[in-house]
Amino acid sequence: MTDSRFEARFDPGQADERWQRAWDDARCFEADSNSTKPKSYVLEMFPYPSGRIHIGHVRNYTMGDVLARYKKMRGHEVLHPMGWDAFGMPAENAAMEKGVHPGGWTRDNIANMKAQLKRIGFALDWNREFATCDPEYYGHEQALFIDLFNAGLVYRKESTVNWDPVDNTVLANEQVIDGKGWRSGAEVEKRKLNQWFLKITDFAEELLDGLGDLENWPDKVRLMQENWIGKSQGLEFSFDLSNGEKLPVYTTRPDTIFGASFVAVAADHPVAQGTAAGNGDAQAFIELCKRGGTTAAELETAEKLGYDTGITAKHPFTGADLPVYIANFVLMDYGTGAIMAVPGHDQRDFEFATKYGLPIPRVVAASADDAAKPFAGEAEAGEGVLVNSGFLDGMDVDTAKREVISRIEAQGSGAGKTVWRLRDWGVSRQRYWGTPIPFIHCDKCGVVPAPKDSLPITLPEDVDFKTPGNPLVRHPTWKHTKCPECGGKAERETDTLDTFVDSSWYFLRFASQPGDKPFDRDEIAKWLPVEQYIGGIEHAILHLLYARFWTRALAHIGLIDVKEPFASLFTQGMVTHETYSRKTGGREVFYSPAEVDRGGESAVLKDGGEPVEIGRVIKMSKSKKNVVDPDEIIARYGADAVRWFMLSDSPPERDLPWSEAGIEGCWRFVQRLWRLFGQYEEGATGEDKALARKSHQTVDAVASDIEALSFNKAVARLYELTGAIEKAQPSASRNDAIRSVLLMASPMMPHLAEEAWQSLGSGGLISEAAWPEVDEALLVDDEVTIAVQHKGKLRDTLTVAKGLPKDELEALALASDKVQRSIDGAEVRKVIVVPDRLVNIVT
RNA sequence: GCGGGCGUGGCGGAAUUGGUAGACGCGCUGGUUUUAGGUACCAGUAUCUUACGAUGUGGGGGUUCGAGUCCCUUCGCCCGCACCA
C-alpha cells in the first residue's frame, strides 16, 4: 500500500544536505529584530573550538534545536545563534606542541566544527556567528572593561599564582599535578603578583537575592550558587596577644567561644610573617605551606599541620591564655585570615587538636545532662544547649550567638559582622591567547586606561611559543606605547583577561551587534533575557555566576536594562560509553568502539579477534578512547537518526549512554516513520474516534513535554502513537494522525520531515509550518480503569465510566470475585475510595 | 574535606498532589515473510512458583489504609571547589 511518491527507503545521504541548503536559501532561521511576534531566545552554551564537535555538543545543541524549531512552529520569532568561545589555553598548548599559531589553529578548528554543525541540520542563525577572538568582539570587551573600571568595579591587588620556576611560567590549577608543573615536573611555588580584579563582592547581596526570582532554574543550581556566595552572620573580635598586638578573628559560631582551645592564623598572615622574622623553623613551616596545592580541595584534604608561634591570645571572657598556631588549613582570604579554634564543634579544629594534643572541651550538648559526654571521635557541629560556658549555660545555639555578640560589642573588642565566602573575581592571566587588558603603565601617571578610540588593542601576530612565558612580555615592540595622559614613554599591560569574561556577555552580542559599540540598548531590551539556556552542570557556579554578575554590572552602569540574563536554565547530562580494554604486559590498553566487535555479552577486537574487557559506562574521554565521532555516525545513519538518539530514552538532565544498538534502533525508526508517512491515503474518509483521541492527546502531551525539555517522554509518546496508527484502518482520522506525527517529529527529524512534507504535496517548508491544533474535546477519556486493593495490595481492576460516584465504586469493588476471595469473609473495617483511581478495602 | 546531585528488569528509562511499579525503546527468545539477509511483521520477556500466590524501585529502619515518591540512617557513583572550558 506504499504511496508511489515515497521511495522504499529514506536516504539521508541525498536528502540531508539538500534540505540544509533549502533552509539556508529560504533564510528560515534568521532572527528578525523588527518582528512583532512574541520572541524566544534559545541559547546553548557556545563551544570551545577544540577541533572536533563532540557527541556531547550534539546532544546539547539538539535539545536547543528542537526547542527553537518548536517555538517557531508556535508562532514565535526565534533567536537561536551560535558562536565560539575561542580564547584559552589549548590553543597555546597546540602552538607549543605543534608549532602552529594559536590564531590559525583556532580558525581552522572553527571552520571544521562549523561544517560539522551544519551537517546535523541545526536551525541556527549563522548571520550572528562570531568568535571571541575576533578583534571586533574583544575590542568591545575592552571598552566594557574600561567602563567598569570608571565605575569603580575594577581594581588591582596582589594575589597568589602557581609559579613554575623551571619554565618561568604561571600555571593553571589543572597544570599543577601533585604540586609539580605538568611540563617541567618542577616543584610549583606560590608567588605574588599584582593582578586585575572585578568587584563581584559588591554584588554579593544582589546576586544572592536574585536567585529567588530565578524560578525556572534548577533548585540544585540555585542552592549551589547560594552556598558559593556563602553569606554568613558571625562575630569579628580581637584577641589581645602576649606580644602586645591585637589579632582580629572571625567566627560563625560565637556561641562556642568557651570551647576555644587555641587560635590559628594563615601562613601568609602578618602574625605568621612576624613570627618567621628571625625564626628559621617558622620560616621553614611557612615555606612548607607555600608548596603543595593551592586549590581549596587540596588544602582541605591535606593533613592538618601547624606551628606553635609561642605567642598566646587572651580569651575575652575567661582570660585564659590560648596558644597561637600557624595552620595550613586557615585561608588568608576568608574572614580575617585568623580563627578561634573550637575543636569540639568543628571537624578541622578537632583533627588539628587531636594531632597536637590540645584540649577538646565540650560546650554544646544534646542536654545539660550530657555536659561531660565524651566525643565519639569527631566534632559535633549540630544544634543543642550550651554547657561548660559560664553565662551561656542552658541557652540554645542561636540565643548564645546573640548573647556573645552583644557582650563582645559591650566590651568594645568586636562586633557582629556579615561575611561572604564569595571573593572578588581575579581576571588577570599571564598568557597570550586572550583579550589584552586595555591599560597602560606610565612611570609618571600610574596605571591608566587606554583611550577608547585606540581600541581594539589587538594581539600581535608575530609571536613564538618556543620559549615558555608570556609572548606579549618579550615581544620587541608590542607593549611599548605612549602614555595617554602625559604622552611620555609607557608600557601596555601584558596580562590578558580570563576567558570567563568573554563568555559573560556573548549572549548580549548575539542579540545585537552594532559596529561602533558592544550592543544596542533597545535591541537588548527586545531579545533579553534568554528564554532557555542549556548547558552542562559543570558550569553551575562559575560561568553562570560571572555572567549574572557581568550583566548586573552593565545594568548598574546604565548600559542595559536587564539584570538576569537567563530566565530559564537547563543543565544536561553527559554522553557516556562503555570502555574496551586489554591488559598486555601489566598495562591496560584501551580500544575505541570502532576497533571492537560488540556481541551480546562480550566483545572482541575486529583486527585479530582477541577478547577485550568491557568496562564501566563512563564519560567519553580521549584517554579511555570511548569516544564516537559524530561525523562517522552521521555518514552512516544520517543526521535525523543521530538527533533522535540524542533525544530518546535518557532524561536530558541525566547521562546518556551511547550504544551502537541504540543508534541502530533509531535508524530503524526513521525508516518506520518514513513508511508511515507513505501510508497517508489521499481521500480516505470516516472517523476513528479512539485514534483521533489518542492523536490529539499525544499532540497536547508532546507539546508540554518539549516545553519542559522532557524529550525522552515526547519520543516515547511518538512511538506509542506510531504503533496505534499502524494498527488502525485507513480513515480521515488516521490521515490526520499521520500528519500530526509528521509535524510533531519535524523539530526532531527535520530532514525526514521536509522530505515527507514535500512528498505529500504540502506547500512550502515544514520548518515554516505551524504546530498541529488540539481539539480540547478529544483530550478527555470517558472511561477509566480503577485499581481495587485489599489491604493495600492489588486484587482486581475495573473499567468504569469516568466520574462514577464513590458509593457505586465501592459497591462494584466489593462485588468482585477476586476481592471477595482475598477478603475471605473477614470484617470490612474501612473502605478508601479515590474517584477515578482506586478502591482500597481494609479488613 | 566542603557544597550539590543520582541510584527502578539484562540495558536506557516511565510512573499527577503518596494511589494499578516496569509505559516506551534497546537487547533477548520463539514464529512468519524472504533466494538470502544485519529488513519487515506477529507473540513473549521483573524475580520465585506447576498453580494459587508471594516477593520486588542500592541496603537497613520508620510514618501511612497505601511509599519508587515523605522522614531517619547507611553504601555506591557523578559534578563543582575560584587560573580547564
Task: Give the pLDDT confidence score for residue A601 in this predicted structure.
Answer: 59
Instruction: List strand B contacts in A 10-29 (CB < 7 A).
Output: none
- What is the distance between the alpha carbons of residues A478 and A463, in angstroms, rounded to a whole number? 10
pLDDT in tens, A785-802: 888 888 888 888 888 888
| Parts of chain A belonging to CATH 3.90.740.10 | 231-420
Mean pLDDT of A119-138: 96
What nine digits make up the cell of A736?
Answer: 490526520
Domain A663-778: give its CATH code: 1.10.730.10
Residue A599 binned pLDDT confidence (cut-offs 50, 70, 90): low
Task: Give the pLDDT confidence score for residue A368 in this predicted structure.
Answer: 82
DSSP track, A637-650: HHHHHHHHHHHSSS
A99-103, A349-353, A439-443, A449-453: which range is least confident on average? A349-353
Mean pLDDT of A111-132: 96
DSSP, collapsed to helix, strand or coil, labels residue A342 as: coil
Nucleotide with smallest C1' distance to residue A717 CA: B24
Instruction: List strand B contacts in A 99-158 (CB < 7 A).
Output: none
Mean pLDDT of A598-627: 73
Task: Give the pLDDT confidence score for residue A3 in this predicted structure.
Answer: 45
pLDDT score of A2 more than 50: no
| Parts of chain A belonging to CATH 3.40.50.620 | 35-134+500-572
Task: Give the pLDDT confidence score for residue A657 in this predicted structure.
Answer: 82
Mean pLDDT of A408-419: 91
CB of A649 nearer than 7 A to strand B? yes
Nucleotide with smallest C1' distance to residue A543 CA: B85
User: Measured in Å, how far apart are chain A's first and last C-alpha atoms?
Assistant: 58
Name the architecture of domain A783-842.
Answer: Roll (3.10)
What nine digits make up the cell of A409?
Answer: 560589642
DSSP track, A566-634: BSBEEEE--EEEEEEEEEETTEEEEE-GGGEEE-SS-EEETTT--EEEEEEEEE--TTTT----HHHHH
Q: Measure A842 CA to B63 C1' (Å).
A: 18
CB of A713 nearer than 7 A to strand B? yes
CB of A731 nearer than 7 A to strand B? no
HSE-up of residue A435 (Cα within 13 Å, Cβ side): 31
Question: Which element (helix H / strand E) includes A236?
Answer: strand A231-241
Mean pLDDT of chain A: 90
The answer to whether A620 and A100 are in contact (CB under 8 A) is no
pLDDT score of A242 more than 70: yes
DSSP single-letter state for residue A469:
S
Task: Give the pLDDT confidence score for residue A602 in this predicted structure.
Answer: 67
CB of A1 nearer than 7 A to strand B? no
Strand partners, A469: none
Task: Give the pLDDT confidence score for residue A303 in this predicted structure.
Answer: 81
Strand partners, A192: A160
CB of A426 nearer than 7 A to strand B? yes
Task: Give the pLDDT confidence score for residue A576 in this predicted structure.
Answer: 78
- What is the distance between the alpha carbons of residues A154 and A199, in angstroms, rounded to a whole number? 6
pLDDT score of A23 more than 90: yes
Domain A231-420: give its CATH code: 3.90.740.10
Q: Measure A780 CA to B66 C1' (Å).
A: 27
Instruction: Name the closest residue (CA) to the C1' of nucleotide B84.
Output: A174
- What is the distance between the alpha carbons of residues A518 and A86, in angstroms, rounded to a whole number? 18
pLDDT in tens, A156-190: 999 888 988 888 889 888 888 888 888 888 888 88
The answer to whether A614 and A650 are in contact (CB under 8 A) is no
Mean pLDDT of A53-67: 93
CB of A98 nearer than 7 A to strand B? no
Q: Measure A650 CA to B24 C1' (Å).
A: 12
CB of A535 nearer than 7 A to strand B? no
pLDDT in tens, A480-509: 999 999 999 999 999 999 999 999 999 999
pLDDT score of A595 more than 90: no
Task: Give the pLDDT confidence score for residue A325 in this predicted structure.
Answer: 92
Nucleotide with smallest C1' distance to residue A378 CA: B1
The answer to whether A481 and A469 are in contact (CB under 8 A) is no
What nine digits make up the cell of A725?
Answer: 496508527
Q: Measure A47 CA to B84 C1' (Å).
A: 13
Q: What percent of chain A has pLDDT above 70?
A: 98
pLDDT score of A200 more than 80: yes
Task: Give the pLDDT confidence score for residue A466 in this predicted structure.
Answer: 84
pLDDT in tens, A631-671: 889 999 999 999 999 999 889 998 888 888 888 899 999 99
Instruction: Name the closest residue (CA) to the C1' of nucleotide B80.
Output: A538
Instruction: Record the pTM.
Output: 0.92
Mean pLDDT of A216-245: 91
CB of A802 nearer than 7 A to strand B? no
pLDDT in tens, A738-768: 999 999 999 999 999 999 999 988 889 999 9
Phi, psi of A594, deg, nearest 5: -65, -25
CB of A166 nearer than 7 A to strand B? no
pLDDT in tens, A662-714: 888 999 999 999 999 999 988 889 999 889 999 999 999 999 999 999 999 99
| Parts of chain A belonging to CATH 3.10.20.590 | 783-842
DSSP, collapsed to helix, strand or coil, labels residue A555 as: helix
Residue A1 binned pLDDT confidence (cut-offs 50, 70, 90): very low
DSSP, collapsed to helix, strand or coil, labels residue A173 as: helix
Q: Measure A24 CA to B15 C1' (Å).
A: 42
Show the DSSP H helices in A687-749 as ranges: 689-707, 711-727, 732-745
What nine digits make up the cell of A388?
Answer: 561548660
Q: Please state the separation of Cα A87 from the chain's center in Å.
A: 19
CB of A797 nearer than 7 A to strand B? yes
Mean pLDDT of A557-565: 95
| Parts of chain A belonging to CATH 1.10.730.10 | 663-778
CB of A422 nearer than 7 A to strand B? yes
pLDDT score of A372 more than 80: yes
Model ipTM value: 0.93
The answer to whether A575 and A566 are in contact (CB under 8 A) is no
CB of A423 nearer than 7 A to strand B? yes
Instruction: Name the closest residue (CA) to the C1' of nucleotide B65.
Output: A842
- What is the distance between the alpha carbons of residues A761 and A752, in angstroms, rounded to a whole number? 14
Mean pLDDT of A562-568: 95
Instruction: Name the closest residue (CA) to the C1' of nucleotide B79.
Output: A538
Q: Phi/psi zone of residue A454: left (φ > 0), alpha (ψ -120 to 50 degrees), beta?
A: alpha
CB of A542 nearer than 7 A to strand B? yes
What nine digits make up the cell of A745?
Answer: 517529529
Residue type present at position A349: D
A192 annotated as ligand-binding: no
CA distances from A477 to A133, A481, A486, A494 (A): 21, 8, 20, 12
A180-184, A421-425, A579-583, A684-688: which range is least confident on average? A579-583
Buried b (16+ CB within 10 A) or exposed e, A695-727: bbbbbbbbbebbeebbbbbbbbbbeebbebbee
Residue A292 binned pLDDT confidence (cut-offs 50, 70, 90): low
pLDDT score of A86 more than 70: yes
Instruction: List strand B contacts in A 33-52 (CB < 7 A).
Output: 48
Task: Give the pLDDT confidence score for residue A184 in this predicted structure.
Answer: 84
CB of A66 nearer than 7 A to strand B? no
Domain A35-134+500-572: give its CATH code: 3.40.50.620
CA-nearest of A342, A274, A343, A258 to A307 is: A274
